[in-house]
Structure 1
Amino acid sequence: MSSLGNQKDSSASPANPAAEVILRATGLAVAYGAVEAVRNLDLEVAAGEIVVLLGANGAGKSSMLNAIVGLSPRVGGSITFEGHDITRKSTEMIVRSGISLVPEGRRLFSNMTVRENLRLGGAALGLAEFEREFERLHDLFPILRKRADSQAGLLSGGEQQQVAIARALVGRPRLLLLDEPSLGLAPIIVNRVFEIIEELRRRKVTILLVEQNAERALKIADRGYVMSNGVVEAAGRAADLQTSAIENAYLGTAGA
C-alpha cells in the first residue's frame, strides 16, 4: 500500500501545471446519517482534463459526484468551482454556474420526447439559442435528428445514454460529470460511448468521470483517483495508475 501513498503524494496535481484548476474539493465529507460515504477527500480537476474516479461498489464515487452538484449531504470540507465556493449552493445554482451531471442510470423523462428532455437541460437558454445548441449537437449525436420527436422511454439503452449526455451538454457546461456512462450497455455501444468521450476531449470539454470499465477509462483519462471506503487510496497520472499496485488494490477484486 505504500506505493499507492507515494502515487497520491507525487501525482495528485493536474498533468499540465499551467492549466487552471476549475474544480477543487478540500477535506470533503459526505454522510447519510451515521454512514460516512466520503471522508476527508481532496480532489482537483483542471480545465481541459479528463479525470477518472475508480473504486469498487460503495467506494464513494457516485456520492462524490452528487456532492459536487449538491445532491448528496455534505457534512464537511469545501468545494470551489472556478474560484467560487459552491459548498452550500443549491443544485440549481451549481448547474447554472456551469456544472452538469449525467447520473447513473440516465434518468431521462421517459414519457417526454428527446427534444423535450434536452429542452430541460437547456432551460436557461432562450428558445432560439436552444435550437442552435440542439442543432450543434447533431454531428456528435445523430440520434437527436433521427429520434427528436420519439418518447425517450422507447429508445434503446445506448440511445438513451447518448440523449442523457446531450442533455447535459446543451447548456454548454464548463465541467461535465459522468457517472457510469457505460454501465449495462452492450460492448458495441460501450465503444460508442467512449468514442463520444474522446471527441469531447478533442473539443476541450472538462470531464470528471466515474466508470466501471477501469482499463478503458484510464486509456482516455489524464489523471485518476482510486477510492476505497470513502477515501482516496491512490492518485496520479492515468498511465502511472496502470500498475500492479492498482490491480491489487482495485482491478483484481471488484468492478466500479
Structure 2
Amino acid sequence: MKRRFFINPEQIPEQIKESKIIIAEPDANHMKNVLRLKQQDFVILFDGKGKEFDAVIDKFIPEGVQVSILGKINSSKESRAQITIAQGFLKEKKMDVLIRQLTELGINKWIPFFAERSIAKPDKKRLASRTQRWEKIAQESLKQCRRSCVPEICPSLSYENMLAYSENCDLKLVFWEQTPENQQANQESIFKIPAAQNHKNIFAVIGPEGGLSTKEIELAENKGFTTASLGPRTLKAETASIAATTLLQHFFGDLK
C-alpha cells in the first residue's frame, strides 16, 4: 500500500506531471527514518482540498524529500452528505480523540461551542492552540482513513453563534438525551427522519457532558432545528457524537 503525505495546496504547480515538490519536516524524517522509504518508492500526495497525486521519491536532500508528481488521482473517499458536527465543549482531551474519529467517519465541518453546562472553558490563547492542534489531528487522520479533504475546523463559538452557522443547511438536528416521558411533542427518533427526503447538507448539535438545557433546546427549535433522540439509553457526549455521525452517514451518506 502506498504511503500518503500532505502537501500545501500552494506547492502544486500549474503543470502537474513530472513537476518536483519538496516534502519538508516532520514528514521527511518520518519517510526516511521511520518508514524507511527509498529512492524510486511510490507515494501518494494529498492537499486536503480534494486533490490527490501519484508521486515517486527522487532523492533525500537537506531541505527534505524531493518527489516527482506522476499524475492526478480521482478520489472517491468523500461522502455525498455534507455533515457539520457542532460539539459542546468537553473536558480534558476528549475533543482531540473525537475530532480524529469524526474525521474518519467523513464529517465536513467541526464547530466546538460553549454550552450552559460546559465544564471546560479554556481562555482565548489556549483556544487558539487547541484549534491548531485539532487541524493537525484532522490532517493526520486523513493519512489513515485515505480521505482527500480535511474537515473545516471552526473557531470555538457561543451557543447562539453556533446556531447561526446552520442557516443554509437542509436538515438541522439537535440531539437531546431526555427520557421519553419528558420529551417534547416534536421530538423525533433519528430513525424516522430519513423517510422525509434525501438531505445533503446536514447540521447536527451534540451537547457537553451535562447535556443541553431546556432553554438551549428551545433556542434551537426557534432556529428551525428538530430535536432528535439516539434511543432510550443516555450516552456519553463523545459516544453520542460518534453514534449520530454514523447514523447520518448511513441514512444520507456512504455507510450503507
TM-score, normalised on structure 2?
0.26
- Greater relative contact order structure (CA < 8 Å, 6+ sep): 1
* Larger CA Rg, structure 1 vs 2: 2
Q: Whose helix proportion is higher, 1 or 2?
A: 1
- With structure 1 as the length reference, what TM-score do the two structures score? 0.26
